[in-house]
C-alpha cells in the first residue's frame, strides 16, 4: 500500500502566513539579533569601562547615525522578543489560544514593540 501524497509547498511566494505566524517568525529573528547583540554589547561595555580613551571611542562611535540605527534595531529586537515571549508564555498556559485572541495578541505584540522602538528612536535621534 502506497502512502498518501503529502502536499509540498516550496513556492515561498505563494505561502500566506497569518499574523500570529509572522509574529512567531519575528520572535525567532529577534532572538538571533539578540544573540549577536550580547557579545557586541559586552565588548563595547568592556572597552568603555577600561579607561577614558575607550569610553571616548565608544561614545564617538555611538554618535554615528549608522551605529544609532544598529542600536535601534537591537532595541526593537529586545522589545519584540520580550513581548512575543510574554505572548508565548500566555499561550503555554492556554490563554488566548482561540483564533481571534491569537490575532489580537499578535497585534498587541507588534504595536507594543513598535511603540517602545519609536520612543527610543525619538530619544536617540533627538
Q: What is the pLDDT of residues 5-22, one digit of tens each?
A: 776 666 767 778 899 999
pLDDT digits (tens, 9 = 90+) for 31-48: 999 999 999 999 999 999
- Using alpha carbons, list the distances in angstroms from residue 8 to 4, 12, 92: 12, 11, 29
pLDDT of residue 57: 97
Residue range 19-125 in CATH 2.60.40.1120: no
Q: What is the pLDDT of residue 27?
A: 97
Task: Compute how many other C-beta atoms are within 10 angstroms of the C-beta atom of residue 120.
Answer: 18
What burial class does residue 113 get, using C-beta atoms within 10 Å of its C-beta: 0-12 exposed, 13-18 middle, 19+ buried? buried
The SS3 of residue 11 is: coil
Q: How far apart are CA 126 and CA 119, in angstroms?
A: 11
Question: Residue ranges of the chain with pLDDT lower than 50?
Answer: none
Residue 32: the pLDDT is 98
Q: How far apart are CA 69 and CA 61, in angstroms?
A: 12
Amino acid at each position: 500500500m502506497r502512502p498518501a501524497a503529502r502536499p509540498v509547498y516550496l513556492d515561498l511566494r505563494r505561502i500566506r502566513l497569518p499574523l500570529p505566524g509572522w509574529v512567531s517568525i519575528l520572535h525567532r529573528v529577534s532572538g538571533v539579533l539578540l544573540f549577536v547583540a550580547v557579545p557586541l554589547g559586552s565588548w563595547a561595555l568592556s572597552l568603555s569601562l577600561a579607561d577614558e580613551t575607550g569610553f571616548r571611542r565608544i561614545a564617538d562611535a555611538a554618535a554615528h547615525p549608522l551605529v544609532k540605527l544598529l542600536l535601534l534595531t537591537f532595541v526593537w529586537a529586545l522589545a519584540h522578543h520580550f513581548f512575543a515571549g510574554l505572548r508565548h508564555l500566555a499561550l503555554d498556559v492556554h490563554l488566548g489560544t482561540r483564533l481571534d485572541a491569537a490575532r489580537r495578541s499578535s497585534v498587541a505584540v507588534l504595536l507594543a514593540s513598535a511603540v517602545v522602538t519609536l520612543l527610543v528612536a525619538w530619544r536617540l535621534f533627538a
